Structure 1
Amino acid sequence: MFRWVHSGWAMKLREQLRKMWVRVVLYSLAGIGLALTAQFVGPYLPYIPKIDLASGSVGSLLNIIASSMLAVTTFSMSIIVSAYSSATANATPRATRLLEEDRVAQTAVSIFIGSFLFSIVGIIGLSAGMYPDKARVLLFIATLLDIFLITWALLRWVNHLNEFGRMSDIIDRIEEAAMRPTRLYRESPALGAVPGQSVLPDTAPVITADTPGYVRYIDMAELQEASELAGVEVEIRRMPGKYAHRGEVLLRLSAQVEDKFQHAMRDCFTLGTSRNFDQDLQYGMTVLGEVASKALSPGINDPGTAIEVLRAGTRVLQEFHRPLEEEREPDYPRVHAPPLDVPQLYASFFAPIARDGTAVLEVQETLHDCLNVLAREGHLPAARREAGRARERSGKNLTELWEKQMLGID
């Protein structure tokens, strides 16, 4: 039987779990739950005199936690918002999404807010007489554990602040995000489908987009299953990263299918108002290029950052071109999809840097060095084309003869 729950929903769930509010809610509920359950579990605890005496200080400890955690949370959020603003101003607005998914920052803020709510509920419970003697002991032990958790989160957060939101950190995050689709496309050039473009005729039945947006994710496994049950072959016309207008073709079919299969196949496409890194390698390379372009703008004028970006992008492309140990058969034989446009991938990364750094010798030297490496290890025609275009641009903008000679420009 066809499964109507697609892994596209799993992708949406992963996106939600990456957001800060999810962790904040979970830790907050855990803190409230711990404070409320103490009164029920406490009566079953054994009597330990020393702990019982120490539990008299639980009210003071909870007051300290409540007052300090509110200040620490406010301070932490101001740091995070400042990092977002800095990334937008100095790198690219697209990088803020990666900072928003930072697990260390999310965990720290979640623990601080959860501890604050735990202490508030505990103070209210103590004032209302909800905790008998043994329940007070359990609340005391929970408070000690909470203090240990806060200390661990603070130390981790303070150490993390040494790098959080800095330019090198942003470049590393974008590179890491781009590596995920890089490995995916290296192992499965067409996302596991049969590579091919315009396999089915233009007159073939089609499935169109019912809402406009960027293709963020394609559930290839469910598309294969729907195709098998419908007894057809399909050709993907809009790969991840492409924008689909309402009514634009998403799929071509080898034959007409029932409405239920059309709906199932359309649901395999997740569309949104913005692009996503998970299946969109070109987006990762474009965002890296944006960071270099911003660094080379007259207002910032930071060629060193552009050089770091060139090295990072080259590492991504080298990983993409790294040979496979063995060739893999397509995972989804009924699905046809266009392979990644490698020349366009090179252009989306190198062209903006070559344009904005056309008169900066050190940037041009690094750019040609990276393209020479990719000419040997990667896509030779694309690397030569970008190198030729960069030399042509530089020849018109470099004023010194010796600079042109260093770049091999006649």
Structure 2
Amino acid sequence: MQKYILWLIDYIRKLESKIAFYPTVFSFTGIIFALIMYYAENNGISGYIIKYFPALVINHTDTALNILTTFIAGLISIMVFSFSMVMILLSQASSNFSPRLLPGLISNRRHQKILGIYIASLLYCIFTLISIEPTGDSYQLPGFSVLFAIIFMVTCLGAFIYFIHSISQEIQVHNIMERIYADAKHRLEKLLDSEKESIEEMSFPDTDNWEVITAKRSGFLQTINLDIISKIAQECDNKFEVFAIKGNFIHLNQLLYKVEKSLDEEQQELIEDAFLFSRDEIISDNYILAFKQLTEVAVKAMSPGINDPGTAIITLDYLTELFTLRSSKSDESFVTVDDEALIKINTVSFENLMFYCNSALRTYVKHDLVMVLKMLDMYNHLYKNTTNKTYQKVIVSQVKILLKDAKASINNEDDIEVIEARAKATLDN
């Protein structure tokens, strides 16, 4: 049963990130409401309202037909324009910033819901138009339904105005980076809170001789349901070490986890289903993706084709904040029950994360004095805001590498002196 629940949750999460999810849900809602109104009209709701509230009912066939046909044509035009704007947004974000930003932009729920309102209103108007009887009899004319069509059209106009405002804000790189940063910060803070609840110095047995379990499928490891693994560990007095890192692409037969005692077939299937794979990457599940995306935006901004150092500087500000948060987190995490570590979870180490981001940045910024100084400021800030000696050594190492690259790329001696003086602030600590 747990297997199917996990599969259903994973399937719903994937569906919700698709651009057509909310429009499809809203479309069915519009059709269902149109059928409800058709049933109500057949039971004389328009005749009842004409008797008590005549101003609320459109009681002329030609007027109703003109209103509905105009609404249908107008909604199709608005919908086509809105979809075109979304495609332009995605194309511009892909070419100017990074293709990896597209999943986050596509999954924007506000835009999905607005498109869904358009389609639901359009389908409602179509079904209401079909229900009009050609006799023109006032009791057969769905006058009250036409009133709802007018209300829906006014709602669509309001949604269209909001859509224009939202899409103009969404395309701005500062807002894109703010969203990425906010998602990653929320995820990191959540992980830090969970670490505070565990024991700081956690002992865990050596796992060299434990049974090795490999992956039976491939894909991006989206998330891990640790509750299921922890429950099995308690039931069979077992311990696990998870080697697969969330966000990484897991290949077939790659090491997934180690287990202290052998598991039966049913337990292995449950644990296998606890590893949720996906072809998409989501920041709310994996904060590492935010570092990758922000780094790629900075690299793209500093490339000769774009040449936008202002965007790169803003990106470094966000990276500094995220690295500061990450420096407060341990490289290893544990799941504990009654102060006993049952699961050890390996994550992307601070050293590897620094190397990944900074090696890509150095390639494009080592010749630019302003960007080199900005990166040195980032290192200095990180060094002062972490008490982890291992992390401080990593930061010092990155300062030395950047200093070496900058000296090889910048010929101006005055600039080199400025860079050395800025680097000294970190190296002398």
TM-score, normalization: structure 2?
A: 0.86
- Aligned match for 1:79, one of 74, 80, 85: 85
Letter in 2 for 1:85: S
Structure 2 equivalent of residue 368 of structure 1:
376
Equivalent position SS for 2:285? coil
Deviation string, structure 1 residues 52-87 (Cα, Å, up to 9, x no partner) = 356753332221211011111111111111111111
Give, in angstroms, the shift of residue 310 of structure 1. 0.3
Aligned pairs for 1:292-303 within 5 A = 292-303=298-309
**Residue in 1 that maps onto 2:409:** 397
Name 2:162's counterpart in structure 1: 156
SS in structure 1 of the partner of residue 169 of structure 2: coil
What amino acid sits opposite 2:22 in the alignment?
R
1:14 corresponds in structure 2 to 13
- After TM superposition, the structure 1 = structure 2 runs for residues 127-142 of structure 1, keeping only pairs within 5 Å, are 127=133, 133=139, 136-142=142-148
Unaligned residue ranges in structure 2 (runs of 5+): 425-429
Of stretches 359-368 and 42-51 in structure 1, the one that deviates more from structure 2 is 42-51
Give the stretch that moved more between structures: 314-323 or 251-260: 314-323
Q: CA deviation at 1:146?
A: 0.6
Q: Which of residues 221, 232, 240 in structure 2 aligns to 1:215? A: 221
**Aligned-partner Cα distance in 2 for 1:193–1:7:** 29
Secondary structure in 2 aligned to 1:10? helix
Structure 2 distance, partners of 1:310, 1:386, is: 15
Q: Residue 40 of structure 1: CA displacement?
A: 1.7
CA distance in 2, matches of 1:130, 1:209: 67
Query: Alpha-carbon deviations, 1:71-119, whole Å to 9, x = none?
Result: 1111111111111111111111100111101122112211112211111
> Is 1:288–1:309's contact at 8 Å kept on the other side of the alignment?
yes
Do the aligned residues in 2 keep the contact of 1:395 with 1:404 (CA within 8 Å)?
yes
Aligned length: 406
Amino acid at match of 2:268: Q
Secondary structure at the aligned position of 1:161 is classed as helix
Please point out which of 378, 387, 396 is paired with 2:399: 387
- RMSD of aligned residue pairs (Cα, Å): 3.0
Offset of 1:351 from its aligned partner? 2.6
Name which structure has the greater RCO, CA cutoff 8 Å, separation 6+: 1
Q: TM-score by structure 1 length?
A: 0.89
1:5-404 matches, cutoff 5 A: 5-7=4-6, 9-42=8-41, 43-44=44-45, 45-46=48-49, 47=51, 48-53=53-58, 57-127=63-133, 133=139, 136-189=142-195, 199-321=205-327, 330-331=335-336, 333-378=341-386, 379-404=391-416
Alignment deviations for residues 112-171 of structure 1 (CA, whole Å, 9 cap, x no partner)? 122111111111111577997387233023213212321221121121122122222322
Greater shift, 50-59 or 275-284, is seen at: 50-59
Give 3-state SS (helix, strand or coil) of 2:171's partner: coil
Give me the whole-angstrom Cα distance separating, in 2, the residues matched to 1:174 and 1:144: 39
Question: Which range moves more in the overlay, 341-350 or 195-204?
Answer: 195-204
Structure 1 position 309, deviation (Å)? 0.6
